[in-house]
Amino acid sequence: MSGWLGRLFPKRPKVGPEQARDMLDQGAILLDVREDAEWRAGHAPKARHIPLSRLPARLRDLPPNRTVVTVCRSGARSARAAALLAREGREVVNLSGGMHAWARAGLPVVASGGRPGQVV
């Protein structure tokens, strides 16, 4: 990004699905910023759900001393979430390719209630 958009949403470090999973195993938080219907259809186990539109009001819901890995469907909304969190002083990375990349890597996806899910 360049110009004023680049200043509002600077590029954040990106990680692939396997690296994200390793970070989660070491204590990072996976923050899913998709909308409610997308979340219900399928999400990564143990992910936290805060839609991007609600994130500014819910920053306190995220522990300040843990790395956050942001994720959405393809990586665009989560990049905006990562930029917001970085401006707040959080250690954050974006999951490149989003939940589509997560699922393509063969990592688990569950629907609400713990049933097998799908990425929409």
Which of 72, 93, 99, 109 does the annotation list as catalytic?
72
Listing DSSP states for 51-110 in one string gives -GGGGGGGGGGS-TTS-EEEE-SSSHHHHHHHHHHHHTT--EEEETTHHHHHHHTT---B
**Residue 72 falls in the annotated catalytic set:** yes
Interstrand relation of 92-95 and 29-32 (parallel, antiparallel or unpaired): unpaired
Cite the active site residues.
72
